[in-house]
Amino acid sequence: MPGADAAAAKTNGNVEENEVDKLLAPFDSVESELKKINEELLKEETLLQAKYELSKAKLYKQRAEIIAKTENFWPTALENHPVLSSLIEMDDMDVMKHLTDINVVRDAENPINYKIVLRFSTNDYFTNEELVKELDFTNPEEPKVVNQPINWKEGKSLVKEASPKGKEAEDDEEAEDDDNESFFKWFTETTEGIQIAEIIADDFYPDSVRYYANLADEDEDSIEGLVFQDDSDEDDEDVNEESLKDNEDDDDAVEPIDPSEVEALAKEAAEAGDDEENPRKKRKL
């Protein structure tokens, strides 16, 4: 009986959960103290990073002067970022052609607070020369976010107005469109937009030159949990290079591996894996 099976499964689940609770109970006090220390460490790391970012202000200004002479620097850098590029929809592309500068301005008194400034040349969409988002983390439990309103030109707004509560999409196509929110919706979000702000301030902006040159692909694993790229050929190459190095360092090895033999093995492995699904997938934030 389906009902009886469900009830039995729920009972078993509760029993297992209770058993886990009993196993973990002796550790509660210690784990609680460790958690407090880890939280303090995170606060200290955040403050230290912000302090050093503030110290780079003069260098960032010098870099901005070079960027100003570089055509399509910021649109290209955004396009090459694994997370931010996924937020830019087709309708945003024409506006992004007018993006001339991105700046992160930190508070000199408390550098964990900052504002993100995007500058645009004259365009057909809005009258703002700058779009600004300010973030105040003085109270980490209740961060404050202030958005400068976008002054859209008539009929040019790319940000959809919120649908009336309870209203359903008329068809699947409309429902799909609702999922494709414009990048500029971020300038209407408050706390829900903080994660993107942190990516811009702590990752994209400091390393924008590497993203512009598309060199950041080499360091994708350091962007924790943000992107998984399907690139089995590079994985195979890394494995082969490590195998060669291990054999070179091993005094007991009879002879080094022939590179041509390694190449043949890699090719064979790649062919064998063609039908298998690669678990590393690029995903949206």
Does 67 reside within a domain? yes
Do both 184 and 238 map to the same domain? no
Do both 212 and 237 map to the same domain? no
Do both 147 and 98 map to the same domain? yes
Q: Which domain holds residue 262?
A: 232-272
Q: Is the pTM of this model over 0.75?
A: no
Do both 181 and 138 map to the same domain? yes
Do both 73 and 214 map to the same domain? yes
Whether residue 210 is predicted with pLDDT greater than 70 in this model: the reply is yes
pLDDT, average across residues 252-274: 46
CA distances from 144 to 85, 114, 184 (A): 26, 11, 19
Q: Say if CB 100 and CB 74 are below 8 A apart.
A: yes
The CATH number of residue 132's host domain is 3.30.1120.90
Q: Under DSSP, is residue 255 helix (H, G, I), strand (E, B) or coil?
A: coil
Does 3 reside within a domain? no
Do both 209 and 154 map to the same domain? yes
Beta-carbon contacts of residue 185 (< 8 Å; ≥ 6 apart)? 159, 160
Do both 193 and 239 map to the same domain? no
Does 15 reside within a domain? no
> How many domains would you assign to the chain?
2
Do both 56 and 159 map to the same domain? yes
- Percentage of the chain with pLDDT > 90? 53
Average pLDDT of the chain to the nearest whole number: 77
Total residues belonging to the chain: 285
- Dist. CA 200–CA 6, nearest whole Å: 47
pLDDT on residue 22: 86
pLDDT on residue 95: 97
Does 56 reside within a domain? yes
Strands 130-136 and 114-120: antiparallel
Q: Say if CB 161 and CB 178 are below 8 A apart.
A: no
Identify the top-confidence range among 10-24, 186-200, 231-245: 186-200
| Position with higher pLDDT, 223 vs 181 | 181
pLDDT, average across residues 27-42: 91
CB atoms within 10 A of CB 199: 19
Of 48-62, 86-100, 126-140, 171-185, the poorest mean pLDDT is in 171-185
Does 249 reside within a domain? yes
Does 260 reside within a domain? yes
Q: Measure CA 65 to chain center.
A: 27
pLDDT, average across residues 183-189: 97
